[in-house]
Amino acid sequence: MPIISAPQEFNEEDLYVDLDAVLGIPVHLKCEGFNFTGSVKQKAAIAMVEAAEESGELTPGSILVESSSGNLGVALSIIAASKGYGFVCVTDSRCNLASKRLMEAFGGVVHTITEPAREGGFLAARIAHVRALCEEDERYVWLNQYVNDANWKAHHRHTAPAVARAHPDLDILFVGAGTTGTLMGCARWFKEHRPGVRVVAVDSVGSVAFGHPPAPRMIPGLGTGVRPPLLDESFVDHVVMVPEPDTIRMCHRLAARGFLFGGSTGTVVSGAARWLAEHTGSERLDAVAIAPDLGERYLDTVYLTNWAQGVYGPDVLDADAAPIPLTSVS
């Protein structure tokens, strides 16, 4: 019987959904949303906070400040509340209302950026705002998930070994790309310990992480307007780019079978399904995809018909809609 005294002490590491039985997609989906912060970002948040405490950068009276599209902000708001720090999240207009309300419920302050920077979009604008806050008040401590090695090391220490234990015969791992902390932590671990495992990065069309042209993106989580400093493509075997309409359709397909996942998960599952169909044929692989979060925070966007149709067109939820061609880079 688990007994905890702080919310960040609990994380369910070994829950998988058999998507072959659910949707006919031969993948085990590792569910990272069953902890008190609700997403895979809990691991990076804890690691970065503890590293800042150990270095002396974070002390009593400090105020954590971070740029986040939602999940990391929620995780940090919970950890800050537990440890007695202040917290400010700098996000943008694409952040789900539920995530903002959660951060505020835990005592966090949310600053919402409404205008993207000319170069680097909303992310660059958010980072500029964080820098300005830090210059104004020495109590602010910016963990900076985009360059913080504790981000990827958390997944090198926890996520990848957990996948390896559960799947000793693993052939391929699908990981979404945002800051690339989860991706790089897992990719580095498997290249070191199980080099025969192929690691496939799944990104959103419109993201510039892997050198593709920028384009508007409306679903928070995966994708970026600035190339991630943590990213080292030499550890990644393949890249799959998924259009957001495919994300929406996959989320609704999963929900129709009783599984409510977040937008990032819809992207990862869609990318995994298309990659496997394109590359494996009748070959049977042991495949795992990482689901960063659950879907409750997306009820006003991904799962709201009017929102989805207003953004992506009236046919976005049509089961017969032809998928946009996959972009894959080896």
pLDDT per residue as tens digits for the range 187-242? 999 999 999 999 999 999 999 999 999 999 999 989 998 899 999 999 999 999 99
Number of domains in the chain: 2
User: What Å distances lie between residue 182 and 150, 156, 158, CA to CA?
Assistant: 11, 8, 10
pLDDT at residue 318, rounded to an integer = 81
Q: Does 4 have pLDDT greater than 70?
A: yes
- The residue whose two tokens read 């970026």 is 224
- Residue 53: give the domain boundaries: 41-142
pLDDT confidence band for 170 (50 / 70 / 90): very high
Q: Are residues 14 and 96 in the same domain?
A: no
Q: Does 163 have pLDDT greater than 90?
A: yes
pLDDT at residue 280, rounded to an integer = 79
- The residue whose two tokens read 């359709």 is 249
Q: Does 325 have pLDDT greater than 90?
A: no
Q: Does 186 have pLDDT greater than 70?
A: yes
Q: Does 82 have pLDDT greater than 50?
A: yes
In a domain, 15, yes or no: yes
Question: Are 41 and 292 a contacting pair, CB within 8 Å?
Answer: yes
CA gap 200, 330 in Å, rounded: 9
pLDDT at residue 327, rounded to an integer = 46
Q: Does 326 have pLDDT greater than 60?
A: no
Q: Does 283 have pLDDT greater than 80?
A: no
User: What Å distances lie between residue 160 and 18, 186, 189, CA to CA?
Assistant: 19, 5, 6
Number of residues that this document lists for the chain: 330
List beta partners, residue 238: 200
Segment 142-159 shows an average pLDDT of 97
pLDDT confidence band for 44 (50 / 70 / 90): very high
Q: Which of 223, 324, 240 is nearest to 276 (CA)?
A: 240
Q: Are residues 172 and 84 in the same domain?
A: no
DSSP letter for each residue of 127-157? HHHHHHHHHH-TTEEE--TTT-HHHHHHIII
Q: Does 321 have pLDDT greater than 70?
A: no
- Mean pLDDT is lowest, of 27-36, 50-59, 135-144, 278-287, for 278-287
Question: Are 87 and 74 a contacting pair, CB within 8 Å?
Answer: no
In a domain, 2, yes or no: no
> Over pLDDT 90: what percentage of the chain?
88
Give the amino acid at 113. I
> Over pLDDT 70: what percentage of the chain?
96
Q: Are residues 46 and 157 in the same domain?
A: no
Strand order in the sheet with 109-113: 109-113, 86-92, 63-67, 140-142
Q: Does 284 have pLDDT greater than 90?
A: no
Mean pLDDT of the chain: 93
Q: Are residues 114 and 207 in the same domain?
A: no
User: Of 99, 122, 142, at which residue does a domain stop?
Assistant: 142
User: Of 92, 117, 142, at which residue does a domain stop?
Assistant: 142
Q: Which residues contact 283 (CB under 8 A, 6 or more apart)?
A: none
pLDDT at residue 1, rounded to an integer = 80
CB atoms within 10 A of CB 289: 28
CA gap 156, 153 in Å, rounded: 5
Q: Which of 163, 190, 156, 154 is nearest to 15 (CA)?
A: 163
The tokens describing 304, both together, are 């709201």
**H or E element at residue 47:** helix 41-55
Q: Are residues 166 and 273 in the same domain?
A: yes
pLDDT at residue 324, rounded to an integer = 41
Helix/strand/coil for 269: helix
Q: Which of 17, 8, 10, 13 is nearest to 268 (CA)?
A: 17
Q: Does 276 have pLDDT greater than 60?
A: yes
Q: Are residues 108 and 250 in the same domain?
A: no
The tokens describing 299, both together, are 């009820």
Segment 268-294 shows an average pLDDT of 92
Q: Are residues 190 and 212 in the same domain?
A: yes
In a domain, 198, yes or no: yes
Instruction: Measure the CA angle with vertex 320, ends 305 and 240; round to 5°.
Output: 85
CATH of the domain at 86: 3.40.50.1100
**H or E element at residue 255:** helix 244-256
pLDDT at residue 322, rounded to an integer = 45
pLDDT at residue 319, rounded to an integer = 62
Helix/strand/coil for 242: strand
- Terminal-residue alpha carbon distance, the chain: 45
Give the amino acid at 36. F
Q: How many CA atoms lie within 13 A of 221 on its CB side?
A: 30
